[in-house]
Amino acid sequence: MLKDQRGCKEEQWRRFWNVDRIRLMCKDASTLFVYWEVSSLRKQIISEHFESRWDQLPFYLLLHDVTDMLFEKNVPHSTQVIAVQPDSENWYIHPVLANRSYLIQLCTATKEGEFFSILQSNSVTTPRVASVSDQPSVCFRRPIRQERTVQENAITDVGPYSFPYFGEFDGYTVNFASRGCIHE
């Protein structure tokens, strides 16, 4: 089939969209797929902050097992660190466990070796694989719809809230003398 002008133009393909995103996908019970992209703006300001060229920063994927927990509030059950290159854009992760929830982050590291998250993915749950020792716990119900209600939060309290670096910053002054922050 001869391609007309429209066809040629339409078959051009963009791999990058200048967006910040990382998406974790489940391929099967033991394999995950992740792809990511960092926008030029984010690359620029991260480079500025760490005082390093983007392609000279170290990069890692941190795969967290966040089964039955809120990642923001808890320490993951386990974390797998995978070093990746600055120009990497996707990764297959195998093996992972069945019936576990995972979340992945693209990170760099400070000169002190602390990870710094650049992008954080959605979480996915790998499919469950039944084991022979499964004991059925039976609950029968009528095939009817459930009505769900949404509860909204509201401010209930005003007071002195803490944040993780209160020892270093009290809202006015940064109280540490020599703690380095940037790649020097």
Number of residues lying near other proteins (CB under 8 A) = 96
Q: Residue 56 or residue 180: which is nearer to other proteins going by CB?
A: 180
HSE value, Cβ hemisphere, 13 Å, CA-based, for 17: 7
The CB density around residue 24, as the number of other CB atoms within 10 Å, is: 22
Contact pick of 47, 52, 80, 120 for other proteins (by CB under 8 A): 120
**In whole angstroms, how far apart are CA 17 and each of 13, 37, 105, 142?**
11, 8, 19, 48
**Cα 57 from Cα 109, distance rounded (Å):** 8
d(CA 143, CA 145): 7
128 binds other proteins (CB under 8 A): yes
Kindly tell me which of 88 and 125 has the beta carbon lying closer to other proteins: 125
Q: Nearer to other proteins by C-beta: 85 or 171? A: 171
**Choice from 35, 55, 69, 81 touching other proteins (CB under 8 A):** 35
Smallest distance, other proteins to C-beta of residue 55, A: 19
| 68 binding other proteins? (CB under 8 A) | no
81 binds other proteins (CB under 8 A): no
- Residue among 23 and 86 whose Cβ is closer to other proteins: 23
Token duo for residue 11:
């078959």
Binding mask 135-164 for other proteins (x = CB under 8 A): xxxxxxxxxxxx-----xxxxxxxxxx-xx
User: Residue 47, interface with other proteins (CB under 8 A)?
Assistant: no
At 78, which helix (H) or strand (E)?
strand 78-84
Structure tokens belonging to residue 77: 């059950």
CB-nearer residue toward other proteins: 83 or 138: 138
Q: Does 57 contact other proteins by CB under 8 A?
A: no
Q: Is 42 helix (H, G, I), strand (E, B) or coil?
A: helix
For 115, the 3-state DSSP assignment is strand
